[in-house]
Chain A
Amino acid sequence: MAGDIETRQKPILSVRNLEVSIRTAVGDLRATGGVSFDVAPGETFAIVGESGCGKSISSAAVMGLLPRAATARADRCEFDGQEMLTLSRREREKIRGNTISMIFQDPMTSLNPVYTIGNQLMEVFLRHKKGTRAEARDRAIFLLERVGIKNAAERMKAYPHQLSGGLRQRVVIAMAMMCGPKLIIADEPTTALDVTVQMRTLALLAEVQKDFGLAVILITHDLGIVASLADRVVVMYAGKIVENAPTRSLFRAPLHPYTQGLIQCIPSHGPAGADAPLHTIPGMVPSLIGRHEGCSFRNRCALARPECAVGEIGLTAFEADHGYRCVVPHQTLMAHWRETEGMKA
Chain B
Amino acid sequence: MATPRTTPMLSLRDLEVRFTVGRRLIGRPKILHAVNKLSLDVERGEFVSIVGESGCGKSTLVKTLLGLQAPTAGAIAVNGKDLSDYSRLELAHMVQPIFQDPYSSLNPRKSVAANIALPLILSERPLPEQVTERVREIMRRVGLPQRFENSYPSQMSGGQRQRVAIARALITRPKILVCDEPTSALDVSVQAQILNLLRELSRDLDLTCVFISHDLSVVRRLSQRVAVMYLGRIVEIGKSEQIFQVPHHPYTRLLISSILPPDPEHHLPPARWDGGGPDPTNLPEGCHFRSRCASPQPVCATRLPELVDYEGTRVACLAYEPGATWKPQSTPC
Contact = CB atoms under 8 A, between A and B. Distances in A.
B53 A203 contact: no
Contacts of A195: 53, 214-216, 255, 258-259
Contacts of B255: 195-196
A225 B271 contact: no
Interface in A239-285: 247-248, 251, 261-263, 265-269, 272-274, 276-282, 284-285
A9 interface: no
B200 to A, nearest CB: 8
Contacts, number: 144
A50 B187 contact: yes
Interface in B61-117: none
A200 B333 contact: yes
Interface centre among B190, B240, B333 (most CB of A within 10 A): B190
B38 interface: no
B260 A200 contact: no
B199 interface: yes
B308 interface: no
Contact of B271 (A203, A229, A279, A281): A203
Contacts of A278: 192, 195-196, 221
B261 A267 contact: no
A6 to B, nearest CB: 23
Contacts of A165: 54
B276 A273 contact: no
B220 interface: yes
B221 A262 contact: no
**Interface residues of A toward B: which range?**
35 or more
B268 A229 contact: yes
Contact of B263 (A207, A251, A262): A251
Contacts of A207: 270-271
Contacts of A279: 192
Interface in B185-230: 187-193, 195-196, 199-200, 214-218, 220-224
A108 interface: no
Given A50-B187, A280-B192, 16 more contacts: A194-B214, A195-B53, A195-B258, A196-B258, A207-B270, A224-B261, A227-B262, A227-B263, A228-B267, A262-B188, A265-B189, A272-B244, A274-B221, A278-B192, A281-B189, A284-B157
